[in-house]
Structure 1
Amino acid sequence: MVPSVSNSSENLHPPPRRVALFVTCLVDLFRPAVGFAAIKLLEEAGCTVEVPPLQVCCGQPAYNTGDRATTRAIAMQVMDAFEGYDAVVAPSGSCGGMLSHHYPGLFDDDPALKARAENLAGRSYELISFLVDVLGVKKVAAHYDGAVTYHDSCSGLRELGVKEQPRQLLGSVQGLELREMKTPEVCCGFGGTFCVKYPEISNAMVGEKSADITASGAGTLLAGDLGCLMNMAGKLQREGSAVRVRHVAEVLAGMGDLPAIGEPETGAR
C-alpha cells in the first residue's frame, strides 16, 4: 500500500522539495528495498527525489579508524555529488550523523572546504526526522499486522535526536502495536568496525539486546539503521528466534510484506 502523508501549516515555508537520497553502502549492497521505501515516503510527501549516481560511502569506516586523509578525500567526493540540492536525506542515523556532525571538523585547516562541509551539514537529515520535523508528516496510510518493537540506534538518537519521530509515524500504521523494550536505547554492539575489532564484546552486547527484544513479546524488530538491523537479525537467527527484522521505512511505506532481513528472497534458489 502506498503511504499518504498529512502536511500541516506547521511545515517550513517553503519546505525542501528537491531532495537527494544518500542511499548508504549497506542499503545499496544488502537491502535496496530500504532505498525504494525512502523514495516512496519522500515522494508522497511532495518531494522530487534524485539519487546522484556519483555518490560514494560517507567515509565513516575510515573516520572511525583514524584515517583522516582518506576521510577528507571521500568527503570531498560526497560534497561534489550532493551540490545544489535542497536537502540530502539518508535512511540511516549513522551516515546522516557523519554528514551533519563530523564533516565540518575534517576541514578546519581549509576555510573554503569547511564552508562547503558546513553547507552540506546544514542540508543533511536522517529520513524519519526529515519527514516529521521538516516536512511535517503526521501519519502514513500503511498497514502492518502484529506487534513490533523499536531499537534506537546510537547515532540517530545521540547525534540527531531521533527518538519520538519514528514512534509517532508507527502509531498511525493500522494493525500495528508498538511494544517497547526495557532499554531500547542501549547499543546493539554493531558500531561499524567495532564489531570487527572487538567481536567478543560485540557478541555479548547483541546477546543482551536479543534478550530484551524477545522479552518485549514483539514479533517484529524495527530500527532506522541497517547495520544495527543486520547485526541483531544475525544474532536472533543464530538463536533460532522467530522475530522478523525490518527497516522502519519499509513498514511506513507499506512494504512490510517483503522478506525480512536475513530471509531468502521469494523465488531465490
Structure 2
Amino acid sequence: MRLLGGALLALVVFASPAAAGFNSWTSESTPDPFTGGVKVEVNYSSSLRSGIFILCDSADHGLEVRAIAGWDYVADLDKLDAEGKIAVDGKVILDVKGKPGAYGNNVAGVSFVLKLDEARTLVDALAGAQSQVAIKDGISAEPHLMGARGSTKSASSLQKCLSAQLQRGGTDSAKEGGSDSGESPGAGEGRRMAMFVLSAFATEQRCKNYKLRSENLPKDEPSAEVKAEFQRILKAEKEQVANSLAKFSCHASAAEVMKYTDLSYDDVWSVQ
C-alpha cells in the first residue's frame, strides 16, 4: 500500500515540468506564437495544494505572483482586498495588494500583479537570495516560508523576460501611453483604451459574476489619432487577448485589466 501511494504521488508531482520539485524553485519557459514573446513560469511547491507561482510574459510588462494557500476557497473571499508582503532573507522588499480567487480544484489563492519596477525589485532579490523567501498572502494565518534553493537560476529566467519587455518598450509609463513606449501620446492612449476594452470584455464574457461599472468610465471624446489607434488595436488584438486571459483565473483576469486604467479596482469592477 505504501508503494502504491508513493507511485501515485510521483505521478501527481511530475505531471507538470514546472512543478517537478518540492521545496525548491523551478522554472519553465514557453514560446507564445500568438504574441511572439516567451512566457516564463517560476514555481515553488510547498505541498500538493500550496505554493507560489511567478508568471512573466516577455510580450507584456511586469509580472504576476500567485500565492496558492492550500485550503478550500470560500465565496466570502471575493469581498477582500489582500494586503500582502514579500520578504527575502529576512528583509521586507515589497508591500503588495492583490485579489483572492479559486485555483485548480477550488483551492484558495491570491493574485498580485506587479508593475515593472516592482517586478525588478522582486526578481533581483530572488536572484541574490541566500536562505529564505517569504510571502504573506493576506488571507492565510501563516505566511509562505520557502527556501532559496534554485532561486538564482529561476530568477535568471525572469530577468531575461523583464529585459525582453524593456526592449519591446514595456515600461511602466506604457500604462499612461507615455513616450517611452516608442509611440506618440495619441497612439499610446488609443492602444491603452483598446487593451482595456478587450481585456474587460474577455473577462466579462468568461466570468459571469464580474461586471464593469460603466458609469465610472471616462466619457470624454477622444481625438482622431486616439480613435484610429483604438480601432486598429481592437481588430488586431481581440483574439490574442481573449486567448491569453483564458489561462488566468477570473480574479487574475480582472486584475490584468487594471494595467490599462488609472481607476481603482472597485471603480472598474462589480463582483456579484
The structure with the larger Rg is 2
Tell me if TM exceeds 0.5. Answer: no
TM interval, short-chain normalised: under 0.3
Name which structure has the greater RCO, CA cutoff 8 Å, separation 6+. Answer: 1
Higher share of residues assigned strand: 2
TM-score for both structures, normalised by structure 2: 0.25
